[in-house]
A = this chain, B = another copy of it.
Amino acid sequence: MAHTYSIGVDIGGTNTDIGLVRNDGKIVTRRNIPTNKYFDIDIYLKDITDIVKDMMKENDIENIEGIGICAPNGNYYKCTFSGATNLNFKGDFNVQEIVSRYMDVPVVVSNDANAAAFGELVYGGGKGMKHLIMFTLGTGVGSGIIIDGKMLLGSTGGAGELGHVITIPGGRQCGCGLKGCLETYTSATGIRRTALEMLENNPSYDGVLSKIPAEELTSKHVGDAANAGDPLAIQIFEETGKVLGLAMANACSFSSPEAVFLMGGPVKAGKVLLDPVRKSFAENLLFVYKDSVEVRVSELPDNDAAILGAAAVIKSL
């Protein structure tokens, strides 16, 4: 069967990755340009379309399904990423409109977590599913929700902010202004916070985490220490897993998905985090969903996930 192709563009504050993606999830070729060298959205998008045209020519591809763009502040309904604080582009703009000046191709714009969820659905472990939830653990906690094979966008386009579900009422202060948000406990930053709290509460502990200056301590250190058997690190992940498993179980009472996926830095610690997550998930899941929902780790390769997510979003049209 003949292959089809699409373009995935992952816009970060520093770099923009552009990939030509085959329908089986293979990234045929990729390029990147420095986002922060551009100040004019028109020139920036023109350069991207030039690269897209080059990629198509080099690979003898006449048609692509479209260009999927994943960007900070990405808004699917408005086809924009206007107002993203870490990008240089000022004012309001519509990406489809600008791209149309240079290339006749459908464009969709998404935020990171929605793209991750859709990437998992189209190219990853969610293939064949209709309902899934993706939690992305990074500096914050993002989420993308797939309902009946479609991205859940809601009335504003901003549905799926499960990182800001108040999981522990009256709990930790979150940057969003609320208290007890999931991300204050289970993002990389939240895990660091738990680690610092536990170090303070266990002055007699003299393991590896106590040797790292507080300002340098990261969730990666905790993961490495937990995998080396450090008891405090293991306890930190047990606490993290309790909160995350609870939030994941709660999310199931909303949409009854076939799977809840996890991705992001802290997830790479593996069993030391995932075992407590699964335990808490099982304990907190409403009985009616037992045996209908799995806890899974994203199957997209780290280096490909963002481009695949962006490219996948074009399938939502």
Contact = CB atoms under 8 A, between A and B. Distances in A.
Interface of A: 129-131, 145, 147-148, 150, 152-162, 164-169, 176-178, 246, 249-251, 253-258, 284, 286-289, 292-293
16 contacts: A131-B155, A145-B255, A148-B150, A154-B256, A155-B257, A156-B292, A158-B256, A159-B256, A162-B253, A164-B253, A165-B250, A165-B253, A166-B246, A169-B246, A251-B254, A254-B254
Contacts of A253: 160-162, 164-165
A94 to B, nearest CB: 20
Contact of A284 (B131, B145, B166, B254): B166
A114 to B, nearest CB: 12
- The oligomer's copy count stands at 2
A317 to B, nearest CB: 15
A293 B284 CA distance: 29
A160 to B, nearest CB: 7
A131 B152 CA distance: 10
A166 to B, nearest CB: 6
Contact of A156 (B147, B162, B289): B289
Nearest to A174: B286
**Which of A145, A166, A168, A257 counts the most chain B CB atoms within 10 A?**
A166
Contacts of A257: 154-155
B289 A165 contact: no
Contacts of A254: 145, 152, 159-160, 162, 165, 251, 254-255
A246 B166 CA distance: 8
Nearest to A157: B256
Contacts of A153: 256
Nearest to A159: B256
Nearest to A253: B161
Contacts of A155: 129-131, 256-258, 292-293
Contacts of A160: 253-254, 256
A131 B169 CA distance: 26
A132 to B, nearest CB: 9
Given A155-B256, A165-B253, A167-B169, 11 more contacts: A130-B155, A153-B256, A155-B257, A155-B258, A155-B292, A156-B288, A158-B256, A159-B255, A161-B286, A176-B286, A178-B286
